[in-house]
Amino acid sequence: MHKILEFQAVVLAAGRGSRLPDVGGTFSKCLLPIGPYPLLWYSLNMLEKVGFQETMVLVLDDDKSSILSALEKCPLKIKYELIVIPSEEDWGTANSLKHISSRVTTDLVVVSGDLISNINLNDVLNLYRKHDAVLASLFFNNGPEEWIELPGLKTKAKPDRDLVCLDKETERLCCLASASDFEENVTLPRLLLKKFNTLSMYSRLLDAHVYIMKHWVVNYLVDMDKFTSIKGELIPHLVKKQLSKPKNALEKKGMSEKNMDINKDIFDYALGNGYEKQIREMSAYNDHKLGNKGVYSGDILRCYAHIPDKNTFGMRINTLSAFYLSNNKILSKWEEITGLPLNEKIHPNSEVKTKQIDENTTVGEKSILSEKTSIKCTFIGSNCTIENKVRLTNCILMNNVTIKEGCVLQDCILYTGATVDTNCALHYCIVGPHHVVPPTTKGNHQLLAETTDNMITLG
């Protein structure tokens, strides 16, 4: 495997899962169990597969010890350094990137800690390298979202959508905006239509939140001090600036009280040694097939987007439906996604007495499954106890869960420390952490919890 040394990698894993209200208030989303491992492991494994030797991982101060403990139990060769950001601060992703700016010495690969995919990141890296881009990003075109009946209270919430405009011939990312910014009509700058012949507009792409960017972008981010979000503010700004040209000497004038150039703009950061431009002028290469516009249309800033074919698996676990659906799919696509065999679906330190357990079930360490139980398509965490005459189908059990005798659970999610007392029948229910469901409870699409505030505890 080729070692990647020209880029630094950073994984953003300090999110609290604001789009997962049914999963419970504020929590460290990166520790959600997806199959046998926590969500964060899949992003680290993806970087490791492509040749990264080390990465920075941004986490909240309060979560550092629990994340370290979880990752120590996972198969990883990549070296990861957990860099904490203050838990009490309401930082956006751009603020987090500014926090590590002094440690960024090369071009940067930014990966979201909630991504699961079988993508070969070399496809995105090579797009960036080929065009000496300022930015290369990744989108998935998975087609219509799969409908799946979810546990918990029914909701009619609609997902946020992006409007993504690409030139198919060159893979240039020409426009990026939130669909909510437009009421009826979408207006594109006339200059875009003049520059590009094959513009396509998408409204159902999934933004993977994978960005490869120039080192100077981080310096620009720090000096401008006006961006809080990478996805919502910095990336659209870079994409929009492609249509601009550097100011001339007469336009650039004025100093601040601190003797800082107030007219310094993005092109002052982007200008290199000029050799790249000379090479392009001497070369026969052109990014347009007809070659009548000049290479890159003379643009100094160039942003690109890679959209793999529809057979590529890609999910971001930022909603309850994505969390639930990913657990339904993960074992069937395990080697394709991770590149690893799953040799131990049942932890050797667990005690599984039942023979009625299918191959789509995993069991964590020190869990006890009694003899007279039936377990199908279920993920069981550590230190769980499943008593006799229990049937579990399509369920997710986190750590320290107890299911007492005679219970039947289907399509349920049970959080850390939850207890379901005897002879309960639950369908499509969510049981909050440390909540005790009384005996003989019957529930369908219910949220059973002490409170919806700070509901989840992962341990």
Q: What is the pLDDT of residues 22-65, one digit of tens each?
A: 444 445 789 899 999 999 999 999 999 999 999 999 999 988 99
Three-state DSSP class for residue 282: helix
Q: Looking at the domain that runs over 7-182+190-246+259-333, which CATH code has it been given?
A: 3.90.550.10
Taking the model in full, what pTM does it have? 0.89
With cut-offs at 50, 70 and 90, classify the pLDDT of residue 459: very low
* pLDDT tens per residue across span 339-370: 999 888 999 999 999 999 999 999 999 999 99
Helices 64-71, 39-50: axis angle to 10 degrees equals: 60
**Spatial contact of 39 and 31, defined as CB atoms under 8 Å apart:** yes
**Spatial contact of 210 and 111, defined as CB atoms under 8 Å apart:** yes
CATH H-level superfamily of 346-454:
Hexapeptide repeat proteins (2.160.10.10)
User: Among 101, 103, 106, 108, which Cα is nearest to 136's?
Assistant: 108
Cβ neighbours of residue 220 closer than 8 Å, sequence gap 6 or more? 266, 269
* pLDDT tens per residue across span 188-198: 788 888 888 88
What secondary structure does DSSP assign to 155-167, as a single string? --PPPP-EEEEEE
CB count in 10 Å sphere of residue 293: 15
Per-residue confidence (pLDDT) for residue 414, from 0 to 100: 92
**Spatial contact of 175 and 193, defined as CB atoms under 8 Å apart:** no
Burial of 264 by CB count in 10 Å (0-12 exposed, 13-18 middle, 19+ buried)? middle
First to last CA, the chain: 35
Strand arrangement, sheet containing 206-213: 79-85, 54-60, 7-12, 107-112, 206-213, 135-140, 303-306, 172-178, 162-167, 199-202
Residue boundaries of the structural domains of the chain: 7-182+190-246+259-333, 346-454
Cβ neighbours of residue 246 closer than 8 Å, sequence gap 6 or more? 265, 267, 268, 271, 300
